[in-house]
Amino acid sequence: MKNRTITFLATGAGLGLSPIMPGTVGTLWGIPIAWGIMNLSSVWWQVAICLLLTIISIPICGAAEKIIGGKDPGCIVADEYLTLPIVVIGLTNPWALLSGFVFHRIFDITKPPPIKQLEKIQGGFGITIDDVLAALIALACNHILFWVIP
């Protein structure tokens, strides 16, 4: 039962098992979570909840990696959907959710330095940390975008 629950959470209720773009499909679970984060009035609460979601991702991804086997299997998407909300911290424009999703996926897929180097880290922390950095870069891009285009 425990292994099934971990696998269920890690694969985003099975969305990470998609034969086409599993990471992107699995990240869709992050949209309603990010929407909820955007609707919190306090940026401090937004940061706190995003930090909590990131911390939750680490043991889920680490345990799932051991259950499924291999290093950072593509079907594990908890790291994607639990870090996506970071891209909207401090933003209220609903379009920031769409642009943040796109930015997050671009940086997670292309893995420009130093994101690529973080993939060398083992376990759940290694699985999650590159997505955190991709989300932080996406957040910066989102803030620039919505500063330029109010």
The residue among 39, 41, 37 whose CA lies nearest residue 53 is 37
Residue 119 pLDDT = 83
Residue 150: pLDDT band (50, 70, 90) is: confident
Residue 120 pLDDT = 87
User: Per residue in 8-54, pLDDT tens?
Assistant: 999 999 999 999 999 999 999 999 999 999 999 999 999 999 999 99
Residue 149 pLDDT = 84
Distance CA 127, CA 73 (A): 9
Q: In this structure, what token pair is assigned to residue 80?
A: 């994607």
Query: In 3-state terms, what secondary structure has residue 11?
Result: coil
DSSP character for 72?
S
Residue 8's identity, in one-letter code, is F
Query: In 3-state terms, what secondary structure has residue 68?
Result: helix
Q: Could you tell me which residue, 119 or 146, shows the higher pLDDT?
A: 146
Contacts of 27 (CB under 8 A, 6+ apart): 77, 80, 81, 84, 101, 104, 105
Residue 1: pLDDT band (50, 70, 90) is: low
Distance CA 117, CA 104 (A): 17
Q: Are 107 and 54 in contact (CB under 8 A)?
A: no
What distance lies between CA 60 and its chain's CA centroid?
13
Please determine, for residue 96, whether its predicted confidence score (pLDDT) is greater than 70: yes
